[in-house]
């Protein structure tokens, strides 16, 4: 295969910000019920469902550069989450290419896990990477996290994070921070490094180019006993076969596989908390929930996600 670079995605055609309510009802002896209200952008229904990542030759307009840190992957959001709509509240128009304004299916899957097992984040100091509109981080706060740091790269996204924290009355326990994974130490105070017992992230493995910066950021943030929870929507890229000049579906999710290998190289443990069948929704690509931590992180103590009917 020829060298590839992810194309910049602009699949979301609507520019309207809406206020939506995401309700989560866990099941099991320790489960919790919580809801999060967000100003976010909702892709049109026609773009929901199964999606694939298109990749282009590295000589295209993307220039082979890394995608902006903190952004979700290039795929349309699925409707399978089925959150409760919050009515007709509408905000001014936004940049249609700023994909951090959308809510992505992997964040829904991760939130479902947390609603089933709120004890994983209750009383903890939590940081969310690539927070977007902050669904996962704000749910952590609603489930009893002591403090949540919501991080992203785009200033416009950060402004909405603050707005959404206030919308849920969580501004006293939530803060936002602009974080560049390529230079994480430049954004973090000394006391913020190596002290986080919980890191959460959803749909951050959107390209192979972000794997090493993400690993470096995790190593800088994680407490020796800390755990990172990652929700990921499995995608296989469509690439151009140089021999036939025809599109071809890759055999695996390259960013995910490279992340697994990079964790091993960095002496980070990795545990799959869900199988593809457990997290997959009928109308969307498969979901995987991962736990990542250092040698002292005791990943085996984390509960697995129960099978869904």
- Residue 182: predicted pLDDT: 96
**β-bridge pairing 174-178 and 147-152:** parallel
- Residue 301: predicted pLDDT: 94
Beta bridge partners of 240: 247
pLDDT at 90 over 50: no
Sequence-distant (6+) residues with CB within 8 A of 13 are: 44, 47, 96
Percentage of the chain beyond pLDDT 90 is 59
Structure-model confidence comparison of residues 8 and 285, the more confident one: 285
pLDDT digits (tens, 9 = 90+) for 225-244: 999 999 999 887 777 778 88
Structure-model confidence comparison of residues 308 and 140, the more confident one: 140
Question: Where in 203-283 does DSSP place strands (E)?
Answer: 222-233, 238-240, 247-249, 269-272
* Domain 4-43+50-301: CATH class, spelled out: alpha beta
Q: Are 284 and 102 in contact (CB under 8 A)?
A: no
pLDDT digits (tens, 9 = 90+) for 189-214: 999 999 999 999 999 998 999 999 99
- Which pair of tokens denotes residue 289? 């929930």
Percentage of the chain beyond pLDDT 70 is 72
- Residue 290: predicted pLDDT: 97
Whole-structure pTM value = 0.78
Calculate the CA 140 to chain-centre distance. Answer: 14
Beta bridge partners of 6: 55
- Residue 23: predicted pLDDT: 97
pLDDT digits (tens, 9 = 90+) for 256-280: 999 999 999 999 999 999 865 445 4
Separation of alpha carbons 202 and 270, rounded Å: 16
Q: Break the chain into its structural domains and give their ranges.
A: 4-43+50-301
């Amino acid at each position: 295969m020829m060298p590839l670079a992810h194309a910049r995605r602009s699949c979301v055609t609507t520019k309207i910000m809406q206020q939506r309510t995401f309700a989560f009802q866990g099941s099991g002896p320790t489960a919790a019920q919580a809801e999060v209200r967000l100003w976010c952008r909702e892709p049109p229904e026609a773009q929901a469902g199964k999606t694939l990542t298109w990749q282009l030759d590295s000589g295209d307009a993307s220039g082979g550069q890394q995608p902006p840190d903190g952004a979700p992957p290039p795929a349309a959001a699925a409707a399978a989450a089925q959150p409760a709509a919050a009515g007709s509240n509408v905000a001014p128009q936004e940049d249609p290419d700023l994909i951090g304004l959308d809510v992505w299916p992997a964040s829904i899957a991760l939130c479902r896990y947390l609603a089933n097992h709120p004890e994983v984040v209750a009383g903890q100091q939590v940081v969310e990477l690539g927070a977007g509109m902050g669904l996962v981080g704000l749910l952590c706060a609603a489930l009893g996290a002591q403090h949540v740091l919501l991080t992203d790269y785009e200033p416009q996204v950060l402004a909405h994070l603050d707005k959404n924290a206030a919308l849920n009355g969580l501004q006293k326990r939530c803060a936002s921070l602009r974080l560049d994974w390529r230079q994480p130490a430049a954004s973090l105070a000394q006391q913020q490094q190596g002290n986080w017992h919980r890191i959460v992230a959803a749909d951050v493995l959107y390209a192979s180019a972000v794997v090493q910066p993400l690993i470096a950021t995790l190593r800088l943030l994680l407490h020796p006993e800390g755990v990172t929870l990652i929700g990921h929507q499995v995608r296989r890229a469509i690439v151009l076969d140089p021999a036939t000049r025809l599109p071809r579906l890759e055999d695996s999710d390259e960013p995910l596989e490279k992340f697994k290998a990079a964790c091993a190289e960095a002496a980070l443990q990795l545990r799959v908390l869900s199988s593809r069948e457990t997290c997959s929704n009928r109308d969307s690509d498969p979901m995987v929930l991962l736990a990542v931590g250092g040698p002292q992180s005791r990943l085996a103590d984390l509960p697995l996600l129960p099978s869904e009917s």
